[in-house]
A and B are shown apart, each in its own frame.
Chain A
């Protein structure tokens, strides 16, 4: 049923032009009424929200008119790949070989969940790791999904693309950790994109009950694609009182992909919601991350790392909202740029009027490895309370002739010298992350990119 229904809305005129309420409704085939209503509502928000242009501060340095051609794309459809590793793309198997240290694995191909496994002991404690589709469709479990999916974190009202994702998402991941349960090993999600000239939409909802603990590693990747492709993703993290969530996204998509991830973490009283965003792939990569410190004592460590080469364009748009007093947030984004690559960082700390005793920090550092690479960095503060500790800083530095000569004068060949400087620079981020497999994958990918220099 779903395959044929959805094929009819593969929009030859493009996702934007031919999108209708009916298309959003069709996407909801088999889903309960509340979900259909939610998608239709999202469509309505999408329809009445103008497409962002460079006149909007948040999109000033990423020209959607130039970088994203929705009209050329068809809507991604369900993948028919079997739940069998031998049927998966080689790239999926290769990256998962290092992921054996896990509480659960989820594999998505073109936004469709094709595999889920979860440690039985954890399942026995009530932990749920499943496809979003199943979570939404199962009457037994949908209460939480109904309460939180696109209602508090990445809801349609967040903007044009948040609405579009909610209206059209194909599938995604649902994680629920009951009160007091600690999931010690990470939940590892591998999302693979294989169909080009399409717009893919998926999302994840991570619900951590009171004083629970979970780490979620989201790896999205593809081969280099032959034509323009859009991969849209939404991440919702709800950390209830005293919960601790670590979310890691490693973006290693191939060229010609426009990757867009919209993430929002809600940290309630004494909760921790930490994030690490690693952007290495895609032609254009945009991450919108908003961390909400909703309860007193909440905290968020926000780390980011990017390495661009060729004509890659990375845009990180972050915000830290201190809504409650006595909360802590610390953001550190570092990136190295080679070739003609370009990075944009726009970050804002917002301390709301009642958020006295806030501790909020924000730092963005860029290292340019070539004359033609560039970085625009715009850190910002908006403080409405008077008893706070806040700081922000940004730098754009150059791997200059003198540094390189210094290293080479010790006998280190140029390529190794560049690698040493870059890994030293980015190492500050990696040192803060002790996750098996993650550092190795990032290091290897950066070294592979450096070797092309």
Chain B
């Protein structure tokens, strides 16, 4: 068996400027092409895990390791991680007034291309192809990034960026939050289409609710509570969570701590 694409061992992290520990030793292995879902209650550290893996400056790693394709990524800048093939779909995408989606993506793809000059015609073709794949109107690309977007438009924009950047590992941070069921289906369909296009793409879904998993079926489900993965299993684990909630594990951990 080949080595995992992402290997996390005993990862610990805290809020950068505060004495607030969030991840307390996360262990996780993802093989190429797998879909993993991480579920947990509010404040369990599931979003923090995604942000730490992407290099968010608001968190400080206090222990453990994370390797992507065998390389330590924890010291790399966020742009270097992106260029290596990691993509974070934001829970709350940021607006950039005056910068069109096309310009933004062209700048990003140029950065990925390094010294090699990005062919603008090829870029245009790629953008149109991906927008077509995601059933998006071409005029969308001319709108300023997330500026005045609805919640659904912001999330679709995240999926479009993911489609264009073609990451090896997609970290999806509560992509389902704030979406109605129609928008959720559109976003989930987008992810599935990208997976059909590129079955090797590995996905880590961070979610609070089981409903997203009705549309994007995970290979593995992990439960995170108080900064640790407390149980892993197949898709049936998500269904169990839907019925039982997190109470079982929360009390276990509390007892352990107490």
> Could you tell me if B98 and A411 are in contact, using CB atoms closer than 8 angstroms?
no
Interfacial chain A residues near B99, Cβ < 8 Å: 420-421, 423-424, 427
Interfacial chain B residues near A100, Cβ < 8 Å: none
> Could you tell me if B96 and A411 are in contact, using CB atoms closer than 8 angstroms?
no
B 86-112 to A, binary, CB cutoff 8 A, 1 in contact else 0: 011010011011110001110111011
> Could you tell me if B98 and A423 are in contact, using CB atoms closer than 8 angstroms?
yes
Shortest distance in angstroms between A425's beta carbon and chain B's nearest beta carbon?
A: 6
> Could you tell me if A411 and B79 are in contact, using CB atoms closer than 8 angstroms?
yes
Which bucket holds chain B's interface residue count? 20 to 34
Quick one: given A401-B58, A423-B98, are A411 and B108 in contact (CB under 8 Å)?
yes
> Could you tell me if A411 and B82 are in contact, using CB atoms closer than 8 angstroms?
yes
Cβ of A402 within 8 Å of any chain B Cβ, yes or no, is: yes
Shortest distance in angstroms between A189's beta carbon and chain B's nearest beta carbon?
A: 30
Interfacial chain A residues near B54, Cβ < 8 Å: 405, 409
Interfacial chain A residues near B144, Cβ < 8 Å: 424
Cβ of A185 within 8 Å of any chain B Cβ, yes or no, is: no
Interfacial chain B residues near A416, Cβ < 8 Å: 107, 111
Partner of A403 from the list B77, B94, B103 (CB cut-off 8 Å) is B94
Shortest distance in angstroms between B153's beta carbon and chain A's nearest beta carbon?
A: 16
- With A and B bound together, what is the CA distance between A424 and B104 in angstroms? 10
- With A and B bound together, what is the CA distance between A20 and B202 in angstroms? 81
Cβ of A414 within 8 Å of any chain B Cβ, yes or no, is: yes
Cβ of B241 within 8 Å of any chain A Cβ, yes or no, is: no
Shortest distance in angstroms between B9's beta carbon and chain A's nearest beta carbon?
A: 23
Cβ of B165 within 8 Å of any chain A Cβ, yes or no, is: yes
Chain A, 406-435, CB within 8 A of any chain B CB: 406-414, 416-417, 420-421, 423-428
B 55-89 to A, binary, CB cutoff 8 A, 1 in contact else 0: 11110000000000000000001110111000110
* Interface size counted on chain A using CB atoms at 8 A: 23
Chain A, 372-414, CB within 8 A of any chain B CB: 401-403, 405-414
Task: With a 10 A CB-CB cut-off, give which of B87, B94, B98 has the most chain A CB atoms.
Answer: B98
Quick one: given A411-B83, A413-B111, A416-B107, are A405 and B98 in contact (CB under 8 Å)?
no
Cβ of B161 within 8 Å of any chain A Cβ, yes or no, is: yes
- With A and B bound together, what is the CA distance between A427 and B104 in angstroms? 14
> Could you tell me if A410 and B98 are in contact, using CB atoms closer than 8 angstroms?
no
Interfacial chain B residues near A401, Cβ < 8 Å: 57-58
Interfacial chain A residues near B87, Cβ < 8 Å: 409
Shortest distance in angstroms between B209's beta carbon and chain A's nearest beta carbon?
A: 24
> Could you tell me if B58 and A410 are in contact, using CB atoms closer than 8 angstroms?
no
Partner of A410 from the list B56, B57, B104 (CB cut-off 8 Å) is B104
Q: Smallest CB-CB separation from A367: which chain B residue?
A: B97
> Could you tell me if B96 and A420 are in contact, using CB atoms closer than 8 angstroms?
yes
Quick one: given A405-B56, A405-B78, A409-B54, are A424 and B96 in contact (CB under 8 Å)?
yes
Shortest distance in angstroms between B145's beta carbon and chain A's nearest beta carbon?
A: 8
Task: With a 10 A CB-CB cut-off, give which of A408, A420, A427, A428 has the most chain B CB atoms.
Answer: A408
- With A and B bound together, what is the CA distance between A428 and B79 in angstroms? 27
Task: With a 10 A CB-CB cut-off, give which of A411, A413, A427, A428 has the most chain B CB atoms.
Answer: A411
Q: Smallest CB-CB separation from B109: which chain A residue?
A: A411
- With A and B bound together, what is the CA distance between A408 and B84 in angstroms? 13
> Could you tell me if A425 and B107 are in contact, using CB atoms closer than 8 angstroms?
no
A 426-453 to B, binary, CB cutoff 8 A, 1 in contact else 0: 1110000000000000000000000000
> Could you tell me if B82 and A408 are in contact, using CB atoms closer than 8 angstroms?
yes
Shortest distance in angstroms between B206's beta carbon and chain A's nearest beta carbon?
A: 15
- With A and B bound together, what is the CA distance between A55 and B63 in angstroms? 57
Partner of A409 from the list B82, B96, B98, B105 (CB cut-off 8 Å) is B82
> Could you tell me if A414 and B98 are in contact, using CB atoms closer than 8 angstroms?
no
Q: Smallest CB-CB separation from B85: which chain A residue?
A: A411
Quick one: given A401-B57, A401-B58, A413-B111, are A408 and B93 in contact (CB under 8 Å)?
no
Interfacial chain B residues near A403, Cβ < 8 Å: 94, 96
Interfacial chain A residues near B83, Cβ < 8 Å: 411
Shortest distance in angstroms between B159's beta carbon and chain A's nearest beta carbon?
A: 13
Partner of A412 from the list B55, B79, B97 (CB cut-off 8 Å) is B79
> Could you tell me if A409 and B107 are in contact, using CB atoms closer than 8 angstroms?
no
> Could you tell me if A427 and B111 are in contact, using CB atoms closer than 8 angstroms?
no
> Could you tell me if B111 and A409 are in contact, using CB atoms closer than 8 angstroms?
no
Q: Residues of B at under 8 Å CB distance from A?
A: 54-58, 77-79, 81-83, 87-88, 90, 93-94, 96-99, 103-105, 107-109, 111-112, 144, 161, 165
A-B contact sample (20 more), CB < 8 A, given A408-B55, A409-B54: A402-B94, A403-B94, A407-B96, A409-B79, A409-B87, A409-B88, A410-B105, A410-B108, A411-B79, A411-B83, A412-B107, A413-B77, A416-B107, A420-B96, A421-B99, A424-B103, A426-B98, A427-B98, A428-B97, A428-B98
Show 18 A/B contacts (Cβ-Cβ < 8 Å), sorted by A: A401-B57, A403-B94, A405-B54, A405-B57, A407-B96, A410-B79, A410-B82, A410-B105, A411-B82, A411-B112, A413-B111, A414-B79, A420-B107, A421-B99, A424-B98, A424-B144, A427-B99, A428-B98
Q: Residues of A at under 8 Å CB distance from B?
A: 401-403, 405-414, 416-417, 420-421, 423-428
